[in-house]
Structure 1
Amino acid sequence: MAGGMLAPWCERESAEQPVLDLGRDAADWWDSVLSGRVTRAGTLVVAAPRDTGELDRFASRTSGHRRVDEDEIALLEPDLAGRFRRGLLFPDEAHLDPRQAMAALHDRLAATGVEFHFGTNARHVSGFDRQIDCTGMAAVDDRLRGVRGEMLILRTPDVSLSRAVRLLHPRFPLYVVPRADTQFMIGATMVESQSAGPVTARSMMELLGAAYALHPAFGEAEIVETGVGVRPAFPDNLPRVEARGTTVTINGLYRHGFLLAPAMARQAAELVFSHDKPPGARQ
């Protein structure tokens, strides 16, 4: 259910500085590994005229942006022309389609000889020198808590967006990420819960209402899919890479999975291979 937004500067609004530090190179990494699958058009943040205070607050808590007026918003996103007077453009941010990215990563790794065993209980696997545990909420770790997220996939040919757009609101801020085939990912709620049950009526109404506020044509869009996921988070909402015997764990990526995955994987690799070196070897 991931949005696939590579938006470290926007995320800094509610996240700690390490999220920006670890995520600022994510778009470059994904683009180098999956060339042509990353859309590097930035992020546009807007707010209704009555919520411009939210825009000022967002600007004060972030960096890497410039203010845009109604005319520039119309140039950036013609379908939003005349709807918003002010906004923020984060030009260095990007987004990707998570499902396409995962499929492409699978194919690339399989081509190098990596074996995949889906539906296998990894706790019963043995005979390896090192194990990397990336099991999220399935991990045995009492420090983790679940943060439920709900999203929708809408389809409409009547809206066209070139980049991820965030609509600020005091109660339910929204992001819309364009996908292929006139589809849009609408998300996402954040509920302190480990329930992975279906999308609630309240969440669906809030997401659809916010999408309609961004552009009325979303009111006639098809609901292609609803999705729910439980994000693993530590108390400080920051990820951890830790060694436990022969196992290296990566967990607690919270709502920043695709954004922080390259940095976390790099840390895990360094931890694994540094342990494989003889005493006194250079790191």
Structure 2
Amino acid sequence: MSVEVTILGAGVAGLTVASEITRRGGAVTLLDRTGPPGPHGCSWWAGGMLAPWCEAESAEEPVLRLGREALDWWDSHAGGVTRAGTLVLALGRDGGELDRFARRSTRHAALDAPGVAALEPDLAGRFRRGLFFAGEGHLAPRAALDALRARLEAAGVRIGQGEDPGPGPVIDCRGLAARDALPDLRGVKGEMLVLRCPDVSLSRPVRLLHPRIPLYIVPRGDGVYMLGATSIESSERGRITARSMLELLSAAYALHPAFGEAEILEIGVDARPAFPDNLPRLRRRGATLYVNGLYRHGFLLSPAMARMAADHLFHTTRPEMMDEDLSER
């Protein structure tokens, strides 16, 4: 079956969908209002954690099941996946949060203080216990997006600026900008920091549990870390609040005091697109197929959503995460 489509949106959703379609022999034109992938949008500010078992602690069942596809997909399509697991910790006063996390998740090993120190020597003596999710991984989102873009261009995909697809089938991956067609889509604001702290060496993402603002910190190499992230019910995309900045930095300092001397390299703010249940959707309206609602699981769930979109286009199947036909609405 011959497939020729225009994809709107060159974030992680648009790039993964384009990759799946071209892999199967389809022809793709990729358009974005700001042009090729760059320093804008949720994908640019993502943590890049491929952590389905950790996310299942607070997410619906499909996030775990579908997210398990992500590590192998990114390895084969972009490379650069580090499979060092995830370490989950809590300060002594928040030990109940660690117990709750353990009850609501699977595929983890309980660590005592020597076990934590063996995984992350720079955290030795700071935490009495933790949880280790050995099957998880992480990647550098910006490098992964660049790798997808380069592979698509090498395959003959034109990546241009604009949002006028012309006639023919369209796949809309515009994220929050698609609220003009998806009225139940909402924004969930996330605020992140990129820090340089050469005095701390971490080998894997670390999640520090806290009743108010859980923290994750992801190593980017050379003493650089991504620190995040807030989750605020707001579509505002342009500023970080003083409270968020203080809480993120305070949590990093609690993880290791050396972060108090870190250099802030970047401040990132954007609004993630989410449906009411925080699960992604495929929706069709006429000739347009919408792939949206990745929430805070962009790199984790986009491979599975791309697979479903390609299955629908090539085989006219009705994927698991596809809503009813909205063409009459």
Answer yes or no: same fold by TM over 0.5: yes
- After superposition, what is the alpha-carbon deviation per residue over 1:122-171, rounded to whole angstroms, capped at 9, x for unaligned? 2x22133x211000110021111110000000001100100000000111
Q: CA deviation at 1:78?
A: 0.5
Match of 1:19 in 2: 63
Match of 2:145 in 1: 102
Match of 2:277 in 1: 236
Residue 92, structure 1, aligned to residue 132, structure 2: no
Q: Secondary structure at the match of 1:208?
A: helix
Match of 1:32 in 2: 76
Residue 82, structure 1, aligned to residue 125, structure 2: yes
Q: Secondary structure at the match of 1:229?
A: strand
Q: How many residues align?
A: 271
Residue 135, structure 1, aligned to residue 169, structure 2: no
- Judge which range, 238-247 or 83-92, deviates more: 238-247
Q: Give identity over the alignment, percent.
A: 65
Output the amino acid matched with 1:23. G
Residue 45, structure 1, aligned to residue 85, structure 2: no
Q: CA deviation at 1:274?
A: 2.1
Residue 64, structure 1, aligned to residue 107, structure 2: yes
Output the amino acid matched with 1:205. L
Q: Secondary structure at the match of 2:265?
A: strand
Q: Is the 8 A contact 1:248 1:272 kept in 2?
A: no
- Judge which range, 21-30 or 210-219, deviates more: 21-30
Match of 1:280 in 2: none
Q: CA deviation at 1:64?
A: 1.1
**5+ unaligned residues in a row in structure 2: which ranges?**
1-44, 318-329
RMSD: 1.1
Match of 2:310 in 1: 269
Q: Secondary structure at the match of 2:160?
A: coil
Match of 1:187 in 2: 228
Q: Secondary structure at the match of 1:179?
A: strand
Q: Is the 8 A contact 1:47 1:54 kept in 2?
A: yes
CA distance in 1, matches of 2:71, 2:77: 10
Output the amino acid matched with 2:232. V
Q: Secondary structure at the match of 1:170?
A: coil
Moved over 6 A (4+): none
Q: Is the 8 A contact 1:6 1:95 kept in 2?
A: yes
Q: CA deviation at 1:24?
A: 1.0
What TM-score results when the alignment is normalised by the length of structure 2? 0.81
Q: CA deviation at 1:94?
A: 0.5
Q: Secondary structure at the match of 2:273?
A: strand
- After superposition, what is the alpha-carbon deviation per residue over 1:212-252, rounded to whole angstroms, capped at 9, x for unaligned? 00000000000000000101110111000122222111000
